[in-house]
Structures are given as C-alpha cells and as structure tokens.
Amino acid sequence: MSARIYLLGAGAFAVGTSAYVVSGVLPDVSSELHVSLTAAGQLATAFSLSYAIGAPILSTLTGRWERRTLLIAALVLAALGNLIAALADNYPLLIVGRVVAAFGAAVYTPAATLFATSLLPPEERGRAVAIVFGGLTFALVLGVPAGTLLGPTLGYKGVFALITAVAVLVAIVERAALPKVEAAPVVSLRERFAGVTDRRVQIVLAMTVLAVLAAFSVYIYIVPLLKHTAGLTGNVTGLLLLLYGVGAVIGNFLGGRITDRFGSLRTLVVLMVGITAVLATLDLTLTTEVGAGVALVVWGMLTWAFNPPIQNLLLELGGGLLISLNASAIYLGAGLSAVVGGLVIQTVGVGYLPVLASALSVVVLGLVYALWRDPSLQRVEELEREEDVYVTAAAE
C-alpha cells in the first residue's frame, strides 16, 4: 500500500477536523459569543451546506488544474478559513471562516479520493477510499475530543488556530512528497450532473443524505445529549467521544476490506441493520458511562463503515464523476442535521434525537433493499468481482 495514500489521508484529517471540531466547542462558542446552543450548531450547517454547494462547482472550475497543485491550494484555503475563525470575535465573522474552510474541504476530499484510487489496482479500490476517509475518522478520534477537552482552556479561537497549523503543515509535506499528476479531460458542470439521471444513482445519493442526517442529527448534539441522559460532562464526555472515534477508525478500514471481499450491496445491508438497531436503543444505552462507551464504539464503527461501500457503489455505477456529488450529499446531510436536530431540541427536547435518527435509518434500509432488488445493479457487482478475481489470478 503506497505511503502516499496515507499522506492524502492526513490531508483529509486536516479538513475533517475543521468540519467536526464544532461539535466539541459548541458550549464554548455559545458562552463566549452569547448565542444559543442551537445557533452555535448552525456553524456546522454553514460549513456543510457550503461544502455541498461548492464541491461540484469548484471541481468543475478547477478541472484543468494539475492535481498536486489543486490539493495544496485546497489545504491552503482550508487553513485560511480556520485562521479567520481563530481571529473571529463575533458570530458573523466566524460564519465567514466556516464557509471559506468548507470550500477548501470541498475541493480537497473528492480530489484526494480520486488521486488515491489512481495509485492502486481495481481490486484494492475500496481500501484506497477507506484510507482517505480514514483521515476523516481520525478527525473524529482526535479533533472532536480535542475540541471538548481543549475548548475550556484555549477557547474556540485556540482550537481553530491549531487546525490552521495542521493544514499548513500537511500542505508543505504533500508539496514535497506527492508526484505531479496532470488533470483528466475537463468535465462540464452539465456532464458532472449527468449521472444523476440514473435512478440507481439517485437512490444511492438519497441514502447518503439520509444516513448522514440520521447520524449527525444526534452526533452534533451528542454533548448535550449525554448530559441529558446520564448527566455526563467535561472530561468524561471527551473520553466517550474518543471511543466513538476509535470505533469510527476501525469501522472505516473494515468497511473497505469487507466491500472488496463481499461487494457494496451485501455490506450495506448488514451495516444498515446494525446502525438502525444501535440508534433505536440509544435512549437505553446512553444512561450509564459503560453503556455509553459501548454504544458509541459500536455506533462509530458501523456508521463509518458505511462510506467505502457507498463510494465503491458509485464508482461501479458512473466512475469518478459521481464522487464529488456524493461528497456534496454527505455534507448536505450534515448541514441539514444541525437544522433538523435543532428543531427537535426546541420542540420536544434533546432526548428525542435518537427517535428521529432511528426512523431515518429505517428509510435508508428500505432504499438499500430497493437497490438489492435491482437486477442490473446485482450484475454490475458480479462483473466487478469477476474482474477482481481475474486480475488477482493474473498477478499470481
């Protein structure tokens, strides 16, 4: 496995920390800027919706850029956004910083995913995707707990300053270590969206939006939820978020390997059954420290195993052009989660977030079943596995 792919994952860690750290500093932002917890949660919405809108547009505008240069520029833009957030002393300027950082992430993640898949043979594509997304899971392992643990000491400004430094450091290393890769033929915005006319692609993208909405409507507000269910705060909450991140790292890499072995659809069926069960029982498992720890590890593992089969399924259906659209779908779901979760908190209370999430997860499971019943997609997966077996046999 090329070490360069892990470096691409390090860049994903930098932009992922920028995306997820808000969950850990919500109380600090709310207190220091004198805004409600729900308003602070909209910082996640600003980032996510900017990413969702920016990913396909910016991918088109930068289509002629040499790939290494594009990755470096994306990291620098993400660093600039976090620097603005670090200097912000009011809510509007903090929003601006989040938007700028999101644009950098919107360029980086799809480009890094395609860069990684080009470095490995087809039979290892799922693992290549998993490594890049592994950077995002490490952002959960370190970034969100760091926000929770360091926020009271450094403030949100200090946390965003640290992220700025990480993004700049990774950009410098990538500039030195990655090879130059010329851009693929330019794709227009119309061509980029052409795949959406395929009903199967529509279902996959809907699955992504709803699955992320289910997960993040709970996760963005996990700190107040843990306080509500078990009275947990401070360092204990930070350690529990660390456990979630550990589960996420394990799940992400297992998801890639299982996808390569059993195919996307089989993997997704098993994962969605497990995710639905975990979400449906959160109101019971989050009532004690031990129960919360076990639940968060399992939940993180299952949730983050979801990305590799989804990405691989889209590659099977339409190739790399769909990757940026799926990135938009991920962040659209994340952006909506802060809004939807905030509405649930304001109307019926934070304790009802798992109820909403489990209901959405059931819908996703239904969509997976609809794809499972599609004979054309089953044939695509059979051909992929036959090709992988042929390539492996030829190599031996």
Q: Which two tokens stand for residue 313?
A: 């399924």
Checking if the pLDDT of 320 tops 90, the result is no
Q: What is the mean pLDDT of residues 151-175?
A: 89
Checking if the pLDDT of 202 tops 50, the result is yes
**Which residue bears the tokens 């932002």?**
29
What is the pLDDT, as a whole number, of residue 393? Answer: 37
Point out the least confidently predicted range of 61-75, 81-95, 240-254, 372-386. Answer: 372-386
What is the pLDDT, as a whole number, of residue 167? Answer: 95
Length of the chain in terms of residues written = 396
Checking if the pLDDT of 381 tops 60, the result is no
Whole-angstrom distance, CA of residue 30 vs CA of residue 36: 6
Torsion sign (Cα): 341, 345, 348, 350 = positive
Residue 232 backbone phi and psi in degrees, to 5: -90, 135
What is the tens place of the pLDDT at every residue in 29-51? 888 888 887 788 788 888 888 98
Question: In one letter, which amino acid is 248?
Answer: A
Q: What is the mean pLDDT of residues 339-364?
A: 92
Contact between 305 and 258 (Cβ < 8 Å): yes
Taking phi over 0 as left and psi of -120 to 50 as alpha, with beta for the rest, 54 belongs to alpha
Residue 307 backbone phi and psi in degrees, to 5: -65, -50
Q: Report the candidate in 356, 361, 246 with the shortest Cα–Cα distance to residue 293.
A: 246
Higher pLDDT, 379 or 125: 125
329: Cβ–Cβ under 8 A, 6 or more apart, which residues?
52, 205, 208, 209, 212
Contact between 133 and 249 (Cβ < 8 Å): no
In order of 83, 162, 298, the CA distances from 274 in angstroms are 39, 36, 9
Q: Report the candidate in 14, 7, 60 with the shortest Cα–Cα distance to residue 179.
A: 7
Contact between 336 and 211 (Cβ < 8 Å): no
pLDDT-derived band of residue 377, with 50, 70 and 90 as boundaries? low
